[in-house]
Structure 1
Amino acid sequence: MNITALRPKFIGCLEPLADIFIRLKITPNMISSLSLIAGLITAYLFFIRFFRAGAVFLVISAVLDLVDGTVARKTGRESKFGAVFDWIVDKYVDSIVLLGVALSGIAIISPYISINGVNGYTLDFAVVAFAIIGSLMNTFIKPVTYAEVGFEKREDGKIDDPLERVGFFGRPETILFLVAGGIIYMPVAVVIIAVCTNLSALQRIIYLYRHL
């Protein structure tokens, strides 16, 4: 069980916003591009340590990511490229936002641990790198499975598969903790993301091993 299971409810709440984009004749791919731009702004704001402002733009990016699919469905603009582009944007946003945290130079674990010959900044950057790897791998497992196993059933323009509901910590949880970290305390959020995304990826691997 994860937040992804609640996606239909979130999308339902954003229907009025989708209708506004439709009236303005803004295409789904344009909305995905706006989501990417909001993510880039988030990364920059995190980089300069404006974490609360960054959290706001990250919420905007996440909302736009939910709206693009609704607009595509309502306007009949669902396409395979749009689904792929949406995935690409998601991973660019996740990676560059976490990279912004890494480059900000905030202390994550260096105040609590020291290793001979390794400075604090290197240790903190390593934690964020681990979070980026976990975020990417947690998602990368899915398209590899699509290619090897052949999931083809689509729902709202995207492939529907069991892995969507496997893994306790996916992209929505990552976004939620980054927003919370921006508002409250980023170091704890990054450590949680680094640990949980990789454990979630392992959970998906075990699921695939048992079922395939």
Structure 2
Amino acid sequence: MKAARDLGERALRAIFEPAMAWLTRRRVHPNVISTLGFVITCSSGYFFHQHHVSTAGFLVLLGGVFDLFDGTVARRTGLASSFGAFYDSTLDRLSEIVVYLGLLSLYNDYRLELGDVGMIYWIVLALAGSLMISYTRARAEALGIACYVGLMQRPERVILIGFAALIFGETTMFGHQGLVLRVVIIGLAILTNLTAFQRIWWVYRNTRPDGEPPGKSD
């Protein structure tokens, strides 16, 4: 999975290299890029709420592209900073919350027609798991442990929600097309929480018996 993720990221970087080069030449501040990505991703929550599911999916993916831009531009321009990293990570969490709130609104409107009240709980579980993935990494790094393990990291979550909504979401919430998005949400609810537990176990195994962290690893 890591090899596939790295390959996909390299491919995306190659595709968007002209845009990143343009931003670098103009010395656009990475915090501006992070903010634009945040606004775009948050707007997807509004379109989920308005039942424009494919538009929301497109915006989720577009906002995810900005995650490639800000860090690269920060390094190339020499504008990387501790606050910038904190700011970007915080906006990522906030925008993810907004996306799930949009999905909650969408399925809340359809719950009676679908006869599927349980989707509300699956969305909440997916949100909780996503936040726990980020929390476990942040807490591990506070202990001096680099923690990047796990199946369902942010790029995977963005791609799954974005493509499921973009390709299968617009025509109807019913039938096989609506089923795809529901399956993705249920899968996220399960796999994000498994990833959080995987990180807990990984930190446990990489903590010294005396309770002191072993330090950062590559």
Q: Identify the residue that residue 83 of structure 2 maps to in structure 1.
A: 81
- Is the CA contact (8 Å cut-off) linking 1:107 and 1:187 kept in structure 2? no
- Is the CA contact (8 Å cut-off) linking 2:123 and 2:189 kept in structure 1? yes
Report the more deviating stretch, 42-51 or 15-24.
15-24
1:198 aligns with 2:193: yes
Displacement after TM superposition at 1:138 (Å): 0.8
- Is the CA contact (8 Å cut-off) linking 1:181 and 1:188 kept in structure 2? no
Q: Identify the residue that residue 163 of structure 2 maps to in structure 1.
A: 180
Inter-partner Cα distance in structure 2 for 1:186 and 1:96? 17
Inter-partner Cα distance in structure 2 for 1:89 and 1:136? 12
Displacement after TM superposition at 1:124 (Å): 2.5
Q: Identify the residue that residue 204 of structure 2 maps to in structure 1.
A: 209
Aligned-pair Cα RMSD in Å: 2.0
Displacement after TM superposition at 1:26 (Å): 2.2
5+ residue gaps, structure 1, are 113-119, 152-160
Q: Identify the residue that residue 111 of structure 1 maps to in structure 2.
A: 115
Q: Identify the residue that residue 176 of structure 2 maps to in structure 1.
A: none
Inter-partner Cα distance in structure 2 for 1:192 and 1:207? 22
Q: Identify the residue that residue 93 of structure 2 maps to in structure 1.
A: 91
5+ residue gaps, structure 2, are 169-179, 208-218
Inter-partner Cα distance in structure 2 for 1:60 and 1:175? 10
1:171 aligns with 2:154: yes
- Is the CA contact (8 Å cut-off) linking 1:21 and 1:71 kept in structure 2? yes
CA distances 1:99-133 after superposition (whole Å, capped 9, x unpaired): 1000112449x736xxxxxxx2xx32221111100
Report the more deviating stretch, 28-37 or 176-185.
176-185
**SS of 2:74 mapped into structure 1:** helix
The 5-angstrom pairing of residues 1-212 of structure 1 reads: 1-2=1-2, 4-6=5-7, 7-104=9-106, 105=108, 106-107=110-111, 111=115, 120=117, 123-148=118-143, 150-151=144-145, 161=146, 163-164=147-148, 166-182=149-165, 183-184=167-168, 185-212=180-207
The TM-score, its normalising length taken from structure 2, stands at: 0.80
- Is the CA contact (8 Å cut-off) linking 2:61 and 2:163 kept in structure 1? no
- Is the CA contact (8 Å cut-off) linking 1:29 and 1:68 kept in structure 2? yes
Inter-partner Cα distance in structure 2 for 1:77 and 1:85? 13
Moved over 2 A (4+): 1-15, 22-26, 105-108
**SS of 1:26 mapped into structure 2:** coil
Count of aligned pairs between the two proteins = 190
> Which amino acid in the other structure matches residue 167 of structure 1?
G
Inter-partner Cα distance in structure 1 for 2:135 and 2:10? 23
Q: 1:85 to 1:132 in 2, by over 3 A?
A: same
Inter-partner Cα distance in structure 2 for 1:8 and 1:180? 19
Report the more deviating stretch, 19-28 or 83-92.
19-28
Displacement after TM superposition at 1:18 (Å): 0.9
Higher relative contact order, chain-length normalized (CA < 8 Å, sep 6+): 1
Identity of paired residues, percent?
29
Inter-partner Cα distance in structure 2 for 1:208 and 1:22? 37
The TM-score, its normalising length taken from structure 1, stands at: 0.82
Displacement after TM superposition at 1:9 (Å): 4.8
Q: Identify the residue that residue 157 of structure 1 maps to in structure 2.
A: none
